[in-house]
Each structure stands twice: as C-alpha cells, then as structure tokens.
Amino acid sequence: MNLTSKGMSWKVALAYALPNFGLAIMVGPIQGLMQGYYTKHFAITMAQIGGVLFLARIIDAIIDPVVGMTSDHFRSRCWGRRSWLVGGATLSLLAVYHLLVVPPDQTIEGLRLWIIVGFIAWTLSEIPYLAWGTELTSDYDARTRIFSFRTALGFMGALLFLAMPNLIAYYQIHVQGLADTPASPLTRDYSHLSMQVSFWLLAITLPVFVAVALWCCPGGSHVRKTERKSPAEVLRILFSNRAMLIFMGAFAALGIAGGMQIAMAYLHVSVYLKLGEEVSQIYVIGACCSLLGVPVWNWLAAVAGKHIALIAGLAVTCVLYVALGLLQPHDGVSMLWGRPVVFWYYLAIFCGLNFFQVVYYSISPAIIGDISEAAMLETREDQSGTYFAVYTFVYKLVIGIGQGLAFFIAGAVFGFDPKGFVQTDRAAVGIKLMMGYLPAVLVVVAILILLRYPITKKKHLEIQAKIKELGLKVED
C-alpha cells in the first residue's frame, strides 16, 4: 500500500496511532505524577526520587543510539520496526505493573529497578515506532497529520488516566452506593486504587491496539541501498547536519524547561496551591484542551510551516509560564462558584498551556522525519531510526536534567516539603522558579534558536523531488 501521497488513508493513520493510547497511559504517570505520588504516599524523599529519575534517564539515554542504529540495520528483517514495538510494549507492561500495583511499603530500591526497566522498555518500542511513522509517508503535510493522530491518541490515553480518580468516585457513589460526606469523603486525588485500575486498563488496551496497528499498517518506505556505514561515520554525518543541530539545540532548552515542570507540576497544584481534590478534574479538562489543539496546530503547520507553528505555540507558552509563577495558594476563604478562586486562575492557565504546548508534541516528530529525509540525500541510507534515537536521547537526557534540578533546587536549596501543609516563603520562591520563571527563560532561548531552522515547506518539496529523481526509496 503506497502511503506517500496526500490521500493517505485516515484509517491507516488511526491504526498507526492506536498504540500511543496505551504508551501514554504508561509514560504519563511516570513523567507527570509518579514523583509527586511517591513522595506523598511512601517513605521516599524528593532527593531520592530526583536521583532515581536522573539515573534512569541517563541509562535510558545511553541505549537510545544503540536501539536506533540497530533498528536501522535490521530494518527489513522480522517485521522490521514493528517487531521492536511488540517487544518493547510487552516488557513495558511488566515494568508498569511493578510501578503502579505496589505494596504500601514500597522502597526506593524497588522503584529504582522498575523505573529503569520501564524506561529501557519504552526506548525499545518508542524509537522504532516513531521511525515507522516517518516511513509511512514522505509528504510534508501528511507526515504532520500522521503524527497529529499519534499525539491525539496519546492525549486520549492520558485523559482516561487523569480522569481515573473521578471515574472511580462516580462508580463508588452511583454503583456501589458509598456515601461521600464531609466526615468521610471519597478521595478524588490519585491513590493506590486509581493507579491499580489504570494498570489493568493498560493491560487490556495496549496488546489489542498494537495488534490492530500491525494488522492495518504496512512497513513503509526505505532506501534501496543496503551498504552500511560505521557508527562513527553515522555520528559524524549526524552532527554535521545543520538543521538537526539547530532543532536539537532548541529542543534541549525546551526539554530542561519541561523537566522542571514535569517534576513539580503535581506537587505545585496539590501541595502548594492546595487543590489536591481538584487536580484530577483540572488535568482532565486540560487534556481535552490538548485534543482541541491538535487539529489547530496541524492546520497552522500546513499553512505556515512546521517550525513557524512551533515558534507561535512556544511564544504564548512563555507568557503562560510566567502567569503560573504568579499564582498564590488557596487561602481557605476566597471562593468563586463554590470553588477556590485560585482554582479558576490555575484552570485557565493550565488549559492555555495544554492547548499551546501540544504543538511541541505533535510537530517535533514530524520535523525529525523531515530532517532524516534531508540527510538521506547525503548518506543514501535510511537512518530515520538513528535520528529518532538522537531525538529521544536528547529529550530524555534534558528532561532528566530538568527534573533533577527541580527536585534539588526546590527541595534541597529552597526547602519545599511535599508532605507539608504550609510552605515557607523561601520554599514558595523555589517552586515558583521551577514552575514558571526559569522555564519561561528557557523557552525564549529555544525560540531564538528555532528562528534559524532551515527546512521550510518549499525546501522539503525540493528534497522529495531529488529523492524521487535518484530513485532512493522502495515500499514494503
């Protein structure tokens, strides 16, 4: 089936995107909630969590290039990229079971082991999965669409996970007949029960959706030439790629900013702002805003170009980061429509962030696909797996750096206490820096770098014409 035209079937794009529904349920808890969840509910400190995540990401990042180059080398054997998705997804289920279905006396050693295993498993599936998506189409706009489908399915999975506490509370009240009273309230915060239910949801959906993708999607296109270059030569070509260096420079700044926010987001809203019982509702509404943003950024990328759409989204994101830093915790008195005033402020900012930040997740993989195709003209090889390995390597490394810095600065330097009901003024400064002001500065740096990105839509058309003229690609 030839998917290189603009008429690419939306059914194929949807089938390709389905596994990301389950992958988002797995990765979402680890990146967005697990650090706060573990420090709130287990005898584990912020410093220990920061150390574990940093170590896991370093180990994970080291194996990224190995997975990328190996998946390129075995591109045409044993189902190619698709076999990696199957193996990585299977190992991921084992790791996530031990991370979500945990005993009350969970130790830092157990957490360290299974987070490392989980990150390695996600690498085994994620890099070949991204490269497979690039190979399904060579069209500039169709590639954006296929990764937009992938992003949308990921947010749907995240949405279901984020809604889990409220869904459980609804079931307990309306099906089990349990009472939700001020004297004995049912929690709508993330708990052991919501984590366990999320795992079993994942265990059912992920194998089914991976099977659908394997059944419905072809292997994609790749270059005819089979000659292989050494890893050193591959890396030399890779790091002489101007477009890749520019994009990765911006991506690194964005990743550190994202790591800071990922580390502190749940603690910021539930502990500092004192909105723990509201957090699930906030996250659900925010995820819906992300879904609304996907077609908007897909359209803007088609009209103005991918990197221009990315810059536009980041510019607004920067302003919203500053607004996050200005928020003050609920004082226990100020209410509006039955909820704390700060709830409405935070909800508005959070929805805006989710709408504008989704461009970062949907456009970036499509940009890497364009860059890898541009490199094909020089190497005459399909090295998309290697390019996505560098992409995920940088992402995981800088996210780990951002998370480690956030936990160290907010916790050790400024004294933020995740188990404390009231934070000191010094601790408040620390979490404001990590959640708002420092990320905003890093986003500005990223925008300035992206202004120099060279692959426009017109340039990509020239690249595709040259690839066709040379007859480099074949279809599986």
Q: What is the pLDDT of residues 251-280, one digit of tens each?
A: 999 999 988 888 888 888 888 888 877 887
191, 166, 163, 228: which is closest to 25 by C-alpha? 163
Q: Give the pLDDT score at 228.
A: 55
**Whole-angstrom Cα distance, residue 367 to residue 307?**
8
Q: What is the pLDDT of residues 29-57, one digit of tens each?
A: 666 667 667 777 777 776 787 778 778 77
Number of CB atoms found within 10 A of residue 312's CB: 17
5: left (phi over 0), alpha (psi -120 to 50) or beta: beta
Q: What is the pLDDT of residues 330-373, one digit of tens each?
A: 777 777 887 888 899 999 999 999 899 888 888 888 898 888 88
Q: Give the pLDDT score at 76.
A: 59
**Whole-angstrom Cα distance, residue 446 to residue 429?**
24
Q: What is the pLDDT of residues 149-195, one digit of tens each?
A: 888 888 888 888 878 888 888 788 878 877 776 666 676 777 778 88
Q: 6 pLDDT band (50/70/90 cuts)?
A: very low
Are the beta carbons of 310 and 364 closer than 8 angstroms? Answer: yes
Residue 425 burial class via C-beta count within 10 angstroms: exposed 0-12, middle 13-18, buried 19 and up? exposed
Q: Give the pLDDT score at 147.
A: 84
HSE toward the beta carbon, residue 29, CA cutoff 13 A: 31
Going from the C-alpha of 39 to that of each of 33, 422, 442, the distances in angstroms are 10, 16, 27
Asked if pLDDT for residue 105 goes beyond 90, the answer is no
Are the beta carbons of 389 and 84 closer than 8 angstroms? Answer: no
336 φ, ψ to 5°?
-145, 120
Q: Give the pLDDT score at 163.
A: 80
**Whole-angstrom Cα distance, residue 443 to residue 256?**
10
Q: Give the pLDDT score at 5.
A: 41
Q: Give the pLDDT score at 309.
A: 93
Domains of the chain: 10-475 (1.20.1250.20)
Are the beta carbons of 284 and 162 closer than 8 angstroms? Answer: yes
Going from the C-alpha of 150 to that of each of 146, 295, 365, 389, the distances in angstroms are 6, 12, 10, 18
Helix (H) or strand (E) holding 119: helix 108-135
128 φ, ψ to 5°?
-65, -30
**Whole-angstrom Cα distance, residue 250 to residue 465?**
28
Return mean pLDDT, the chain.
81
- Of the ranges 3-17, 260-274, 373-387, 440-454, the best mean pLDDT one: 440-454
Bigger pLDDT: 183 or 451? 451
Q: Give the pLDDT score at 229.
A: 57
Q: 235 pLDDT band (50/70/90 cuts)?
A: low
Q: At 380, is the secondary structure helix, strand, or coil?
A: coil
Identity (one letter) of the amino acid at 233? E
Q: 231 pLDDT band (50/70/90 cuts)?
A: low
456: left (phi over 0), alpha (psi -120 to 50) or beta: beta
**Whole-angstrom Cα distance, residue 371 to residue 375?**
6
Share of the chain above pLDDT 90, in %: 17
